[in-house]
Structure 1
Amino acid sequence: MNAYLYIIPSDCWDTIKANLNMDIQDGISKSVSDAPPSHYIFKIQLFSLLTKHSVEKYESREFDAVGYKWKLVLHPNGNKSRNVKEHISLYLALAGTSSLRPGWEIHATFRLCLLDQNRDHYLMVEDATGTGKRFHGMKLEWGFDKFISLKDFNGESNGYLVDDTCVFGAEVFVCKEKNITQGECLSMMKDSIINKHVWKIENFSKLDAERYESKPFNAGNQKWKIQFYPKGKGSGQGNYLSLYLALADPTTLPPGLKIFAEMTLRLLDQLQAKHYTGKANLWFSAANPDHGWQRFVSLAYFTNPSTGHLVRDICIVEAEVTILGVANALS
């Protein structure tokens, strides 16, 4: 389907409404047009069965208009969530938003339509102000709670419902579009789950690489790994063992995603269960994918047989990860 961009100057709107002989009540304009809606037609056969089968809401398939995807949302007996009774509720919803850039915002005017099958013309319903509605990530749907009363809709002389068949439609006109100031949404987690991973490291005395990593493990919706520096890192190099928690593949994170996690890293005492523990609440992201301690424990203490951390040249590292919150780019 071809899509066209209509731009209507605000100072022309009153003239247009007058020429269309609009009826304006309660902020809603109603007019009549012989031309069918230019962007979408939605025909329903056996409309009465929607009520019989308790269909409270129906969403049409997506359609293209002025470069975006939309759909119609119909409540055949009124939008119950808004306490609408004895009316049909009809809305225009923006769809396919995952392809839009973060911070998108679209201002659009639109007309929702209903065919009078007796006279072969359309009832056009729109906002009386003509200023348009602002579609964005937190408001994807606009329309009319009381699009038409069920009394008028069912009235035989009106021609809206003939042989239990009706036809709705939509026209969309984009006034302007822009990218708003970018932001983020922080979602804190309630009743977070503790995720535990145990890593057994053998032949410690023979480890000669700077860093070793555990197998990836799951915590929240991400994969993590433990990083183990047997000869230390940074300020701990040579005299300390360094231990870190890291995102397994930070390059796959969506832009702007940050993860607030409680992490606990332990060297297990294999003799007396007096484990050596580090704990912190920290933010992880693609820019900061790992956190830990360069001086987690001194090598002198770690290798002392009486501490139980190194037994038969084996040490055991344990990680506990609890996701406390997630921050995403506001879309």
Structure 2
Amino acid sequence: MEDQKQTSFTFKIDNFSDKEGAISSSTFSCGGCEWYVDVYPKGSYNVDDHVSMYLQVANPESLRLGWKRRASYSFVLLNQSGIELFRKDESLCQLFCAQFSGRGLVKAVPLKKLQEKGFLEKNKLIVKVEVKVVEAIDQGKATGNETFVYNGFHVRYTQVSSVSRLFVEHPDIAVNFRPICYSVKTTYMNLLLNLIETLNKPPHSFTETELSNAHSELIKLTEAGFKLDWLKTKLAEVTLERKKSNSDDDDTQFQELEEQNKNVKVELNKGKRKSSAKVLSLEQIRTEKPTKRFCSRDMEDQEETSFTFEIDNFSDKEAVISSPTFSSGGCEWYVDVYPKGSYNVDDHVSMYLQVANPKSLRLGWKRRADYSVVLLNQSGQELFKINDSSCQLFCAQFSGRGIANAVPLKKLKEEGFLEKNKLIVKVEVKVVEVVDQGKATRNETIDYNGFHVLNSQVYSVSRLFVEHPDIAENLRFKNQVLKTTCMNILLGLIQTLDKPPHSISETELSDAHSQLIELTEAGFKLDWLKTKLAEVTLERKKSNSDDDTQVQELEEQNKNSASPKGFSFKNVVYFWNTKK
């Protein structure tokens, strides 16, 4: 609609200074639909020193999902002779849609301005609105999940109204917002909207966990650059109200418990019977916490399985050695031993517990198991034992778990370990959960090292942690949504940098630099990826530029940022590609 002409519409408001509530103009046509203007003589949304003005789509309830108009507009004040006295232009072309049918200016005209000569002759305000529609879509092709950009944030149609009101009431809310990557910005906005929704609940309905999470989320949002003093105040009020309501309930409850406790003591004294039961004092009732227990489903009585195997001529071995298979928890397993280490580890023996025939497993198959690896001497006595500290998940996408730094090679030189150059290994396995049905989909998520990742991402993420065990040890985020977003950005960045350098566009390269900065600021250790990005930048510059001086400068920078020993981008990508 580039040739669409601008439409002007003028209306008058009598006795303007006596008005209090919103005043709506009559409707007018532009761009194939009807519009009107709302004027708030005393301001709106906590603004009381300006006139507020909004351009509205008429009959928004009749619009189909997906209907939209993109338009530029201006508000003009005229005198009785039609001469322009004041103009306020909206600097950006704005989107009007079924979910948000109004746009405007909270601070359109200062009330002091209206006191000047000509503005309110005979107490009458004359307003002219100029509208030019530059895009029109009447078909309802959109879904509730379709997104568009609002003040730099990608938001869903269903969120438009909430986000727009947020910016109307708090115009400077994102002035200092630091993240650049749109997916990170979207995640933060979703987190903010959810927090606002949470804090609108009745205070007494909050759980302790919800309140704790709310405080953590507010800190993260503030650290990201949002101005949220108003939300901080709201959270303080909710916390106080909850404390008051719970305190009242606790006093009543504690009185009841104390009364019950007295009755128990009386009965015990009457019967003069000894009892092993623990009678709690009121103070103990206040402070004692329930013991947390891990309860494994369906396999609580599962016995531990032990399997022992021997490796002859161990010190002469170089490549991986696989044990025979053994059964535990209804499936077959084996152990992989790397005599000279694996994944850039060369001073330890590496050991991995593997599910046999992983290609035959259906999506959704899984075992959760505890395991240990033990080294024995010729008499069967335990010399060395290493336990995996947590119950591990084995699934169709990631069928092996283990320890790269299992046994120091120096340890094997001690007496008893390699008698007759033979290493004796015992693996102990206890399966605590079994799922054989393929109920999962590729979109089902699994918790891996504190990150919720898709089934289809498990292998890539696991290899990432094998290659770089400390990659996330300094991660600042605790919120699961933010952690998942960061992991998805990281995996996408690795995939981008695996492309041939000449095929990476300038925009992709710029985004890669921004994403790497944000991931590093979030706490990821990515020196190896920084080196890879420098290499890609240099190679792309070589293929796209004849400027030898600039290339030499980039080569020098690249040398200065050379990877430390153990750089493994190629390995990460290799394992990524083997499971695509």
Q: Is TM more than 0.5 here?
A: no
The TM-score with structure 1 as length reference comes to 0.40
Q: Give the TM-score normalised by structure 2.
A: 0.23
Quick one: higher RCO (CA 8 Å, sep 6+), 1 or 2?
1
Between structures 1 and 2, the one with greater strand share: 1
Q: In proportion to residue count, which structure has more helix?
A: 2
